[in-house]
Structures are given as structure tokens and as C-alpha cells.
Structure 1
Amino acid sequence: MKKIIAIAALSILPLTQAMADQDIGCGLGSMVFAGQEGKVVKVLGATTNGTSGNQTFGITFGTLGCDGTGPVTSTAKLSLFIDNNVDQIARDISKGEGEALATLTELWGFSEQDKATFSTLAKTNFSAVFTSENVTSQTVLENLNRLVANNSALSSYTLS
């Protein structure tokens, strides 16, 4: 069985670097749903990548569009968190509080006193963060980062 998996992985290796999706990451889901659009397809791809263990395999062996080199950046952690929790984050931002929003501020690195400022800023600008029903998690992160960059009290937290 291990030989079959290794052969399959090696046979698709040349195809993999172009297959990774920016929103859902690398893995089999990115390959299966390549070229398709929409929130449902992205969720299915991310679920396939995250639940079947193939993303871990791809990162370990550099297959399935994954690159196992380089550091995990705060932007990457935030992107992954937003990818997996975008609906909960939207709900929490609309209320200005909640577990997903609290986790987001923690991962972002906001100090305790700045978390409330960020939460209020995000709530006030909800429509600028979630610009459409099908907004991608990457766009949500970019929009939040733009708000942070333009806020004098929070600009030091701007992601590069």
C-alpha cells in the first residue's frame, strides 16, 4: 500500500506546484477542485485538505502543491484560522464580541487594551471587511489589515 501511495504521489509531483489554492492551501482538495469557483467548492477543498491527512503528507514530502520549507508567519496563521472559521468570525465581528473574534485578536498579537479597539473597529466597518457573501478569507484578512493600517491606535499591528 505504501508503494502505491508513493508512486501516486510521485506521478503527480510535476503538476502540484501550480495546483495549490491561495484560499484553501495545498493538498488533494486543491487539486480535485482546481479551476472551480465559489464558496462551496472552496469549503469542500479546504475540508478535503484538512480532514484526509493529505495536506500533512504534501507538506512533509513536498507534493500536492505543498512546500514544506519556510517559516509559518503570523499572516499564514491568521489566513489558516480565517479559512477555517470565516462564518464564526463574521458572526462575532457583527456583534463586536465572541470566541472566534477573541481568538483572531490573540493570533494577530493585539495587546489586551487594543483588542477592544480592534473589535469595535471591525464591527463598525463590517461591510468593508465582508464585502460580499462569497468573500474569500484572504480578502477578509486584507480588509482587516487595511483597517488596522489606517487606524492610528492600531497601525503598529499592520501585517507586512
Structure 2
Amino acid sequence: MKKLIAVATISLLPFTNAMADQDIGCGLGSMVFAGQEGKVFKVLGATTNGTSGNQTFGITFGTLGCDGTGTVTSSAKLALFIDGNMDNLARDISKGEGETLSTLAEVWGIAEQDQTTFNEITQANFSEVFTSENVTSQVVLENLNNLMATNVELASYTL
């Protein structure tokens, strides 16, 4: 059995991060169930990735569709924060400062030295971020992300 696992692991070494599934991440489960459709295969792939401990190996060595470089981000966490703080965030962005805006920058992972630029660019483009009274948190997140992508100092923080 150990030989079979070793052979399977070695044969999967050439795979690149292009093979990773967006929902279940990289790992052996993504390789085994590649091309399959449906929730059942996604759950099986995620379970395989989670229980076999192969994602750590893949991230460390850049195999199994994993890439050990880059920043860990969570657009869902950001959208949840924005959703729970829309009014306060709108107020802070309009002023270019405030606790909610500072917390957003921290949750986003913006370095302290770039937070002033973040505050200034969001304030200057308030109407591009909050496009209407009924704007959703997801749209605000997308608008902020697009705004940051156009700024040389903040482009590295785009999702």
C-alpha cells in the first residue's frame, strides 16, 4: 500500500497549479476528480484533500496543483465585513478616515504604509465605490477591488 501511495505521489509531481479546483483547492483530490462535475465529486475531492494531508506537501513543493507563493485572501470575509458595516463604511469613505475604513484596510491586508493611499483613493472615488443607495456589499467589494487595481501603490492588493 505504501508503494502505491509513493508511486501515485511521484507520478503527480509534474502537475501545475492550473490543475487546482477553485472550490476545493489544490491537492490529490483535485487531481483524482479532475474533469468531474457536480457536488458529489467536489465533496469527494475536498474530503480527499482535507483528510490525506497532501495539500501541505503540494504547497511546500509546488506540486499537486498547488502554488506556495502569493497572499492568502478571502473575498468572502471582506464581503461579509462590508455587508455588516455598509453605513459606517460609506460614512468613513466619504470622510477619508475612520475606524470602519481602517478595519477594512486591516481585514484586506493592506500594509500600514499604504493605508493613507487607500483612504485617499477611496474618498476621492466615493461615487465609484457606492454607485447607488441600494448597492450590495459584493458590488462595493468589486468596485473597491477595481479601484485598487488602477492605482500603482495598491494594485498588489487586488483580489
TM-score by length of 1: 0.50
Paired residue for 2:137, among 126, 136, 158?
A: 126
Paired residue for 2:115, among 111, 118, 132?
A: 111
Partner of 1:137: none
The equivalences for 1:24-35 within 5 A come to 24-35=24-35
Q: Which runs of 4+ in 1 moved over 4 A?
A: 36-48, 100-103, 120-125
Distance 1:2 1:41, change over 3 A: closer
| Deviation string, structure 1 residues 61-90 (Cα, Å, up to 9, x no partner) | 44312355xxx33xx322xx34xxx2x433
| TM-aligned CA deviation for residue 33 of structure 1 | 4.2
| Deviation string, structure 1 residues 79-107 (Cα, Å, up to 9, x no partner) | xx34xxx2x43322112278x956533x2
Distance in 1 (CA, whole Å) between partners of 2:104 and 2:49 is: 24
Which blocks of at least 5 consecutive residues in structure 2 are unaligned? 87-99
Distance 1:129 1:8, change over 3 A: farther
The equivalences for 1:63-82 within 5 A come to 63-68=63-68, 72-73=69-70, 76-78=71-73, 81-82=74-75
Distance 1:92 1:40, change over 3 A: farther
Distance in 2 (CA, whole Å) between partners of 1:40 and 1:144 is: 35
Percent sequence identity over matched residues? 54
The equivalences for 1:85-96 within 5 A come to 86=76, 88-96=77-85
TM-score by length of 2: 0.51
Query: Is the Cα contact below 8 Å between 1:92 and 1:101 reproduced in 2?
Result: yes
Count of paired positions:
130
Q: Cα RMSD between the aligned structures?
A: 4.5
Partner of 1:133: none
Letter in 2 for 1:126: S
